[in-house]
Amino acid sequence: MKIGVISDSHDNLPNIEKALSMLAARGATVLIHAGDIVSPFAVKKVLSFPGDVYGVFGNNDGEIAGIKKIWQHVFHGPCLLELAGLRILVCHEEAELSRAPYEDIDIMIFGHDHKAVIREGRPLYVNPGEAGGWVYGKTTCALIDSEGPRAEILEIKRCALRLRYWGCVWRRRA
């Protein structure tokens, strides 16, 4: 099984769409979001993924009641998932992992600091980085293969961002 992982998308709909397309094209059949989606309208985009979607809340998710209304598989972390025979612990901040009352974990997924990281071993640690691309400008997600398990960081081609301010145009190209 291949599992797509994103985090810290912060309402960036074009980047969410690109990440979902890339992960589906690479064979992901499940998606995990490690928090900071932010708003229900962005959750709707995440839920367009063509498979099961699980997630945890992050520190910037504001409208929790609205998000819970439309997404039945979102939890306050840490959250234990069992997929493809693996025990996967998901939370938003890495510090939460050590406080989780679970044992025998195969994969630990977290986000929050917007820095993509894979630490091999058992458990396998995966931070997919930032799908939003707002902090470091490098937009990433991760793909986990349950065989192994092993993971890789994928770079999402950024969308051109165009803002208007009092008639001036500021343009940032990918």
Secondary structure of residue 151 in the 3-state scheme: strand
Which segments of 26-57 does DSSP mark as H helices, in order? 40-46
Mean pLDDT of 41-70: 94
Q: What is the CATH number of domain 2-172?
A: 3.60.21.10
What's the whole-number average pLDDT of the chain? Answer: 90
At 166, the pLDDT band (50, 70, 90 cuts) reads: very low
Tell me what pLDDT residue 101 has: 81
What would the mean pLDDT of 23-39 be, rounded to a whole number?
A: 96
For residues 100-106, average pLDDT: 88
**Contact partners, residue 47, CB within 8 Å, separation at least 6:** 53, 70, 71
8 pLDDT above the threshold of 70: yes
What share of the chain has pLDDT > 90, as a percent?
A: 78
Closest CA to 100 of 119, 123, 120, 77: 77
- Identify the pLDDT of residue 56: 97
Rounded to whole angstroms, the Cα distance separating 10 from 82 reads 26
Domain residue limits, the chain: 2-172
Burial class (CB in 10 A: 0-12, 13-18, 19+), 101: exposed
- Rounding to the nearest 10 degrees, give the CA dihedral for residues 138, 25, 71, 104: -80
For the cut 60, the answer to whether the pLDDT of residue 81 exceeds it is yes
- On the question of pLDDT at 26 being above 60, the answer is yes
State the pLDDT at residue 11.
93
**CA atoms within 13 A of residue 25's CA, in its CB half-sphere:** 8
Beta strands 30-33 and 2-6 are parallel
**Does the structure show a pLDDT above 60 at 169?**
no
pLDDT at 97: 86
